[in-house]
Chain A
Amino acid sequence: MKARVYVMLKTGVLDPQGEAVRHALGALGFDGVQGVRQGKVIELDLAATDKSAAEVEVKEMCEKLLANTVIESYQIELS
């Protein structure tokens, strides 16, 4: 089973990299970009076959390591 974890800075936490990307897009003539938030995607290849067990396990991974929940939120996709 494969899991995909999306990690983003929480709403309200300033994302200076996203802001820099927004400015660069503006410089290229993309005037309509009102906000950019940059995050990361982590792909996991799991031995687990049971979806609900895998979800519990990946959630634990997120809480313990993959995301810093002080500043980041995460979303899990299983397939």
Chain B
Amino acid sequence: MRAAVIQFPGSNCDRDMSVALNAAGADVTMVWHKNTDLPDGLDFVAIPGGFSFGDYLRVGAIAARSPICQSVVAFANRGGYVFGVCNGFQVLTETGLLPGALLRNAGLKYICKHVELNVETTQSAYTSAYKTDQSITIPIAHHDGNYNLDDADAQALFDQDRVAFTYADNPNGSVRSIAGVLSENRRVLGMMPHPERLADPAQGGTDGQPFFAGLINQIAKV
């Protein structure tokens, strides 16, 4: 499986993402934001966490208009797998690949802690190695993770089985406790929690490991 991790000025989870993908068996290339093209023969693109462009204007806004993101959008529209975590999720909503927007946490505080997530669906490459309604522990670290979508659209996401994860105890005010959202074709996923930060025993837990193992396993079958 050939994966790319996009690097923006201010990305700070890019190497963690690369290590987690590598450990699961992916061949990873780092791609700088000024590049206009993704590497050939790519199966998967990850947009990592961090503070791209210092969160200027709006979180993820500038990154979403960078040259490489035009290619990422085209790649997703061709049916490519794209995963955005934390700031990457914010970038994906800004590109329009995923619905909604991420606002300042309801409690106004930056939150950095382990949270319990509920796996809402196993019908995606990303969640294929978990069980439905499985409870997993994954770290969050964000100031702007309050997922905003109107009630009808949020309900539609549940109806279409596009909510990948919900928070067991909503930390940030997200509508319907949504923590991760899939695109219509189920190949683009955005989530605020960081599975790459709990994917090795040395990180203190491995609940994120099945995320990458399942993903790589499913992409190999496509």
The finding on whether chains A and B are genuine partners in a shared complex, rather than unrelated, reads yes
Interface residues of A (CB under 8 A from B): 9, 12-14, 16-17, 20, 64-66, 68, 70-71
Q: Is the interface of B mostly helix, strand, loop or mixed?
A: loop
A69 vs chain B, min Cβ distance (A): 10
**B148 contacts A13, CB within 8 Å?**
yes
Inside 8 A of B111's CB, which chain A residues have their CB?
none
Inside 8 A of A71's CB, which chain B residues have their CB?
101, 103, 148
Inside 8 A of B61's CB, which chain A residues have their CB?
65, 68
Answer whether residue B43 sits at the interface, using C-beta atoms and an 8 A cutoff: no
A20 vs B106: C-alpha distance when bound (angstroms): 10
B136 vs chain A, min Cβ distance (A): 28
Answer whether residue B33 sits at the interface, using C-beta atoms and an 8 A cutoff: no
A29 vs chain B, min Cβ distance (A): 22
**B103 contacts A14, CB within 8 Å?**
yes
Residue on B with the closest CB to A40?
B57
A71 vs B144: C-alpha distance when bound (angstroms): 14
Size bin of chain B's contact surface: 10 to 19
A17 vs B143: C-alpha distance when bound (angstroms): 12
Contact A14:B108 (CB < 8 A) given known A65-B65, A70-B93: no
| Binary flags per residue of B80-96, CB closer than 8 Å to A gives 1, else 0 | 00000000000001100
**A16's contact among B65, B93, B106, B150, by CB below 8 Å, is which?**
B106
Answer whether residue B173 sits at the interface, using C-beta atoms and an 8 A cutoff: yes
| Binary flags per residue of B149-189, CB closer than 8 Å to A gives 1, else 0 | 01000000000000000000000010000000000000000
List, sorted by A's number, 22 A–B pairs whose CB atoms are closer than 8 Å. A9-B103, A12-B150, A13-B103, A13-B148, A14-B148, A16-B105, A16-B108, A16-B146, A17-B104, A17-B108, A20-B108, A65-B57, A65-B65, A66-B57, A68-B58, A68-B61, A70-B93, A70-B100, A70-B101, A70-B148, A71-B101, A71-B148
**B57 contacts A14, CB within 8 Å?**
no
Contact A68:B106 (CB < 8 A) given known A13-B148, A14-B173, A16-B173: no
